[in-house]
């Protein structure tokens, strides 16, 4: 492919992928599969890598770029982000209607929208391009989080069409969908980590992260509901929502349509129960005057607009008896208490179990068996006990004792910070099964034919105890198992065969080394490009890798010093799994040694390259990219607007500055 053909294909792919994003996030009508989308994105990434100067400003590959931030700047909102007045009663909503009628001297139609339980955000677009994103802050001034907002795939970087205002400020809510949140929490609990409290706090905390790549991995979403515009350029809220959709903004499709207050009440009542069917959290309904001219006439107080109010739903809670407490063992050996409750109807489902997290939570609540407790649904994997219901005056008598030994294998438990652990991982059935489930997971070896029930069956039959045992399975033994059959057996074997091509970084993640998640596995695989190099690495070698602290390094060294683990590696090697980043038989022709042994920090804006491209070039030529300067740094590759603190630190450490042109000469 020559350069002209590459440019033509880059332009076509950029348009096509942006259109698919619009169909997926805004219209909710995708026309290709996720796998097909990823294939097209991979093709575009490869072309842009070969011809970086042809990368388009609105390329979907440019959502995340640059190094982690050192802090957030703050900026003023063009107009204050006012809070809404709240009400929990229909009578107060009628009072709101009376105030509106009195001020206008007539009735006016209302429109009701779901009140997303997320984080308010304000975006500024100039000539259709996203230039700034600011959190609510104190309403007048907030944190600039533009890089993090660009990492959210549903938010347009370049608007569609051409009839948008030259400059406008758009407002909406950032949130995380419940299935995604529950999946993240499930994985945290499996890894012995504390669950995130609720989706809203998670979304808020995510926007305050200093690394946009981590924000991207968290899977946030957004809906938009307002923009600031010159007086009388819009007729009403319905027109605004339609325009927003046409320009590429995701908009919540659930609203009442303009109507009188009785229509609004029917909308509020219907979503009182229907909200459980949503895959995101709402905490009420926002009632707005539909007409923009009427809004202008109504104005606002110092704190809130006079033309809108939030009707808040009461927190969903129920009272029931705490019958008993189970203690579950996760993959990492963390022991988690789970309350068994007398069945109670809550939020559209019957609740029988609730999380207690750890011993400290039991002590904080002061729980005893047979206490009557309050249970709430707040987005967790399972509901949460929030307190003791003292209205009856009765209390349970039996204290809840956290076990001193593992409830599965009877090994002694050790308390580390808030959690208790069983460290008998080799002989503790839940930990061994948990490791197998982790090994076959989609982001690890991707063995979707080996679900939890199948793994438990193989375990019960004594066919599998460790991951390496999976590759010893035979068709005859599998096909005779209960509910298996020849076809299912062959699917398992085909999946195992295909997994032999899974890249090294995912195999490393699949091993289940404590604290080595997807990102850490990728960093380790990049730095130690074979399992043998990683196995022989010292603590000092490991802590020199980006994002690897002493705690992780100690776990890695400990894991590879175990003879049984090394035996597993040898068996998996013989089974044909990938344990090196580059095949020894096929050297990477794109890789040189020109920067071997050199460490770089990249900062600033460059004329001919994006920062991620420069980092990729450094690694292609054998160099290492670090996020922060140290006495081990050889060069600060510095563009315009490089961070002042980095420049100052480079001077203090005598780290030479390298321009974009000098870098190009270095690798020429």
Which CATH number do you get for residue 47?
Answer: 1.10.287.610
The pLDDT of 186-204, averaged and rounded, is 77
* Domain shared by 162 and 279, yes or no: yes
* Domain shared by 343 and 392, yes or no: yes
Residue 485 domain-assigned? Answer: yes
Adjacent-strand bridge partners of 420: 335, 415
Most confident of 173-182, 205-214, 378-387: 173-182
Residue 584 domain-assigned? Answer: no
Which of these three, 390, 420, 450, is where a domain ends?
Answer: 420
Residue 585 domain-assigned? Answer: no
Residue 579 domain-assigned? Answer: no
Using the predicted structure, report yes or no on whether residue 199 has a pLDDT greater than 80.
yes
Residue 582 domain-assigned? Answer: no
CATH classification at residue 473: 1.10.150.20
Question: In the structure, what pLDDT confidence band is assigned to residue 382 with cuts at 50, 70 and 90?
Answer: low
Chain Cα centroid distance, residue 642: 28
Residue 379 confidence (pLDDT): 46
Question: In the structure, what pLDDT confidence band is assigned to residue 432 with cuts at 50, 70 and 90?
Answer: very high
* Domain shared by 134 and 157, yes or no: yes
* Residue 564 or residue 519, greater confidence: 564
* Domain shared by 195 and 279, yes or no: yes
Residue 70 domain-assigned? Answer: no
Number of separate domains in the chain: 6
Using the predicted structure, report yes or no on whether residue 349 has a pLDDT greater than 90.
no
Residue 583 confidence (pLDDT): 42
* Domain shared by 362 and 495, yes or no: no
* Domain shared by 81 and 217, yes or no: yes
Residue 591 domain-assigned? Answer: no
Both structure tokens of 293: 């001219």
The pLDDT of 125-147, averaged and rounded, is 89
Residue 128 domain-assigned? Answer: yes
User: Is there a contact between 207 and 119 (Cβ–Cβ < 8 Å)?
Assistant: yes
Q: What are the start-end ranges of the H helices in 277-414?
A: 292-298, 359-365
The pLDDT of 569-584, averaged and rounded, is 84
* Domain shared by 11 and 46, yes or no: yes
Residue 586 confidence (pLDDT): 40
Distance from C-alpha of 619 to C-alpha of 592, rounded to nearest angstrom: 9
Which of 147-161, 377-391, 516-530, 585-599 is predicted least confidently?
585-599
CATH classification at residue 282: 3.30.470.30
* Domain shared by 475 and 553, yes or no: no
Residue 589 confidence (pLDDT): 46
* Domain shared by 451 and 569, yes or no: no
CATH classification at residue 652: 3.40.50.10190
Residue 397 confidence (pLDDT): 86
The pLDDT of 333-340, averaged and rounded, is 93
The sheet that has 624-625: what strands, in order across it?
624-625, 599-603, 635-638, 657-658
Using the predicted structure, report yes or no on whether residue 650 has a pLDDT greater than 90.
no
Distance from C-alpha of 498 to C-alpha of 463, rounded to nearest angstrom: 20
Using the predicted structure, report yes or no on whether residue 268 has a pLDDT greater than 90.
yes
**For residue 50, what are the domain limits?**
3-62
Distance from C-alpha of 430 to C-alpha of 564, rounded to nearest angstrom: 18
Who contacts 569 (Cβ-Cβ below 8 Å, separation ≥6)? 531, 535, 579
Distances (CA, A) of 447 to 429, 494, 498, 514, 578: 21, 9, 9, 21, 15
* pTM score of the predicted model: 0.52
Tokens 């022709």, residue? 589
Distance from C-alpha of 612 to C-alpha of 171, rounded to nearest angstrom: 29
Active-site residue, selected from the candidate residues 102, 115, 274, 486: 115
Task: Give yes or no: 646 in active site.
Answer: no
Residue range 617-628, pLDDT digits in tens? 887 888 888 767
* Domain shared by 509 and 495, yes or no: no
Question: In the structure, what pLDDT confidence band is assigned to residue 25 with cuts at 50, 70 and 90?
Answer: low
Average pLDDT value for the chain: 86
The pLDDT of 496-519, averaged and rounded, is 91
Using the predicted structure, report yes or no on whether residue 404 has a pLDDT greater than 60.
yes
Which of these three, 312, 338, 362, is where a domain ends?
Answer: 312
* Domain shared by 189 and 223, yes or no: yes
Residue 41 confidence (pLDDT): 83
User: Is there a contact between 335 and 364 (Cβ–Cβ < 8 Å)?
Assistant: no
Which of these three, 467, 501, 535, is where a domain ends?
Answer: 501
Who contacts 257 (Cβ-Cβ below 8 Å, separation ≥6)? 111, 238, 263
**First CA to last CA across the chain, in angstroms?**
22
* Domain shared by 100 and 238, yes or no: yes
The pLDDT of 409-427, averaged and rounded, is 92
* Residue 162 or residue 105, greater confidence: 105
* Helix, strand and coil percent figures for the chain, each rounded to 5: 40, 20, 40
Percent of the chain with pLDDT over 90: 44
């Amino acid at each position: 492919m020559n350069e002209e053909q590459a440019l033509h294909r880059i332009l076509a792919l950029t348009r096509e992928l942006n259109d698919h994003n619009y169909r997926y996030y805004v219209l909710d009508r995708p026309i290709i599969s996720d796998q097909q989308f990823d294939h097209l994105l991979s093709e575009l990434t490869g072309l842009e890598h070969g011809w970086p100067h042809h990368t388009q400003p609105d390329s979907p590959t440019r959502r995340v770029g640059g190094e982690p931030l050192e802090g957030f700047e703050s900026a003023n909102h063009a107009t204050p982000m006012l809070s809404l007045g709240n009400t929990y009663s229909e009578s107060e909503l009628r009072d709101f209607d009376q105030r509106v009628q009195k001020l206008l001297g007539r009735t006016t139609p209302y429109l009701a929208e779901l009140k997303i339980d997320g984080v308010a955000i304000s975006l500024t677009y100039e000539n259709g391009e996203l230039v700034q994103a600011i959190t609510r802050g104190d309403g007048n001034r907030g944190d600039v989080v533009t890089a993090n907002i660009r990492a959210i795939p549903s938010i347009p970087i370049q608007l569609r069409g051409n009839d948008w205002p030259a400059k406008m400020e758009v407002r909406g809510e950032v949130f995380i969908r419940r299935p995604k949140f529950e999946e993240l929490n499930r994985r945290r609990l499996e890894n012995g980590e504390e669950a995130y409290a609720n989706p809203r706090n998670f979304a808020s905390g995510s926007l305050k992260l200093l690394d946009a790549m981590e924000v991207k991995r968290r899977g946030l979403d957004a809906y938009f509901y307002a923009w600031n515009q010159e007086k009388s350029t819009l007729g009403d809220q319905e027109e605004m929502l339609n325009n927003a959709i046409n320009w590429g903004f995701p908009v919540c499709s659930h609203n009442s349509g303009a109507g009188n207050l009785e229509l609004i009440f029917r909308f509020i009542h219907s979503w009182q129960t229907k909200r459980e069917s949503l895959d995101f959290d709402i905490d009420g309904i926002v009632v707005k005057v539909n007409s923009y001219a009427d809004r202008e006439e109504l104005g606002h107080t110092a704190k809130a607009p006079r033309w809108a109010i939030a009707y808040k739903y009461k927190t969903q809670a129920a009272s029931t008896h705490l019958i008993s407490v189970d203690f579950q063992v996760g993959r990492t050996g963390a022991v988690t208490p789970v309350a068994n409750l007398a069945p109670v109807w809550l939020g559209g489902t019957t609740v029988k179990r609730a999380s207690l997290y750890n011993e400290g939570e039991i002590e904080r609540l002061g729980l005893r068996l047979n206490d009557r407790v309050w249970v709430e649904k707040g987005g967790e994997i399972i509901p949460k006990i929030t307190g003791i219901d003292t209205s009856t005056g009765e209390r349970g008598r039996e204290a809840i004792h956290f076990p001193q030994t593992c409830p599965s294998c009877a090994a002694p438990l050790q308390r580390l910070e808030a959690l208790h652990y069983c460290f008998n991982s080799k002989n503790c059935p839940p930990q061994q099964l948990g490791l197998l489930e982790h090994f076959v997971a989609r982001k690890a070896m991707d063995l979707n034919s080996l679900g939890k029930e199948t793994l438990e069956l193989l375990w019960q039959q004594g066919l599998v105890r460790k991951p390496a045992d999976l590759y010893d399975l035979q068709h005859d033994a599998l096909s005779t198992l209960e509910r298996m059959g020849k076809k299912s057996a062959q699917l398992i074997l085909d999946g195992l065969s295909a997994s032999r091509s899974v890249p090294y970084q995912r195999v490393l993640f699949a091993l289940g080394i404590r604290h080595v998640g997807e990102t850490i596995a990728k960093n380790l695989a990049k730095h130690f490009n074979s399992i043998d190099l990683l196995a022989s690495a010292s603590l000092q070698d490991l802590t020199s890798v980006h994002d690897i602290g002493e705690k992780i390094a100690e776990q890695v060294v400990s894991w590879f010093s175990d003879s049984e683990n090394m035996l597993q590696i040898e068996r998996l090697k013989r089974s044909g799994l990938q344990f090196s980043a580059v095949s020894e038989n096929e050297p990477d022709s794109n890789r040189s040694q020109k920067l071997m042994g050199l460490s770089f920090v990249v900062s600033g804006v460059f004329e001919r390259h994006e920062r991620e491209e420069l980092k990729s070039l450094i690694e292609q030529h054998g160099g290492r990219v670090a996020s922060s300067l140290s006495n081990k740094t050889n060069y600060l590759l510095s563009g315009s607007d490089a961070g002042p603190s980095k420049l100052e630190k480079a001077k203090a450490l005598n780290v030479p500055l390298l321009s974009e042109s000098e870098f190009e000469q270095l690798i020429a």
